[in-house]
Amino acid sequence: METPVTTTAPLVVLGGPTATGKTALAIALAERLAARGIPAEIVSADSRQVYRGLDIGTAKVGAEERTRVVHHGIDLVEPDQPFTIADFRTHALAALEALGDRGGIGILAGGTGFWLRAVMRGIDTDALAFDPDVRAKIEADLGRHGVGELARRLRNLAPRLASRTDLRNPRRVVRALEIATLRGDAPLPEPVGYPAPVLGLQLALDPDIQRDWITTRARAQFDAGLVEEARGLRERWDPALPCFSAIGYRESWSHLDGEITLDEAIALDAQHNIGFARRQRSWFRGEPDLAVLDAAADPLPPALAALEAWLLTLGR
């Protein structure tokens, strides 16, 4: 019996820092493709949206939008379940292969740069070292000593790997230290590529404008019930779980515990997201294959123009 041939869907990659409008633009592009009779689905590349229950704090796309466009990469595991970049790549490629078999086009959208890169460049995640015993020991050290001590250890053990790691993100530091413990500071495996055409786009904002957008979004998330969401999550799950390093939850808990006022929690959320966006901008400046669109100047027309030109190269 012959093995069925699968065709991975051509891929639009849409990256960029937090609060730049990636979700809305991805949905608009998917709907334009659908209007032309081309099936289009979105794969979310956000390392916190895979967790069920973390909705408002991760700016997860709502139910109404999901009825308009199929989304993958959302609500895959419970907060206490591990989910690695290898898990994400496996999930994303399976969705994109199924979509390709139906003649569709995928849209990979999100701000977790390494996850975008794992799919669009084909990082061989299976070649990255993994050892559950080493991971458990490092996570225990995280609980005892904090992320700062683990970051210091990573810089000493593997400076090259440390330079590519968000040293304020506990989950990233733990994973990087695990890799460094097992294989030293060796370069990452060579990418194997993506098996279909790729159109790369990224949204960018002037930092001052982005600061205003982030502040407005922070207020909106708290108005939408972020504190209540955080309360419910803490009642069900261990607040030390790595997924709760997502900005918004610890700030909400500090308010619930009477340590800060609501306005202070909102301001702290915005401050942390502004710092996060700064680090994301640095990452995306290193992605020359993603054409830059100004998020403040209505990015839809240039994105559609780029999409139409790309479709012509595909004969679509």
CA dist 185 to 84, 113, 115, 124, 129, Å?
Answer: 20, 20, 20, 17, 12
Measured CA to CA, the distance from residue 181 to residue 191 in angstroms comes to 22
Residue 237 lies in a domain: no
Measured CA to CA, the distance from residue 188 to residue 181 in angstroms comes to 14
94 plus 137 within the same structural domain: no
120 plus 171 within the same structural domain: no
The rounded percent of the chain whose pLDDT value lies above 90 is 73
29 plus 55 within the same structural domain: yes
Measured CA to CA, the distance from residue 275 to residue 52 in angstroms comes to 25
* pLDDT for the residue 192: 83
Q: Which residues of 75-101 are buried (b: 16+ CB within 10 A; e: fewer)?
A: bbeebeeebebbebbebbbebbbbbbe
Measured CA to CA, the distance from residue 44 to residue 240 in angstroms comes to 25
pLDDT band at 3 (very low <50, low <70, confident <90, very high): very low
Q: Which amino acid is at 110?
A: G
3-state secondary structure of 54: coil
Lowest model confidence (mean pLDDT) among 63-72, 171-180, 197-206: 171-180
What's the number of domains the chain is made of?
2
Query: Where is 168: in which H helix or E strand?
Result: none
Residue 230 lies in a domain: no
Residue 2 has pLDDT above 70, yes or no: no
81 plus 164 within the same structural domain: no
Instruction: Give pTM, 2 decimals.
Output: 0.85
Residue 4 has pLDDT above 60, yes or no: no
CATH number at residue 87: 3.40.50.300
Lowest model confidence (mean pLDDT) among 66-70, 167-171, 244-248: 167-171
**Can you give the residue range of the structural domain that contains 106?**
11-127+191-218+284-314
Residue 67 has pLDDT above 70, yes or no: yes
92 plus 163 within the same structural domain: no
Residue 223 lies in a domain: no
Residue owning tokens 């998020």? 295
Residue 297 lies in a domain: yes
Q: Are 83 and 77 in contact (CB under 8 A)?
A: yes
122 plus 16 within the same structural domain: yes
32 plus 66 within the same structural domain: yes
List, for residues 262-297, the tens digit of each pLDDT value: 999 999 999 999 999 998 999 899 898 999 999 999
Give the angle 30-192-105 at the CA atoms, nearest 5°: 15
Residue 231 has pLDDT above 80, yes or no: yes
Measured CA to CA, the distance from residue 43 to residue 116 in angstroms comes to 10
Measured CA to CA, the distance from residue 291 to residue 13 in angstroms comes to 10
- If you average pLDDT over residues 210-221, what whole number do you get? 98
205 plus 118 within the same structural domain: yes
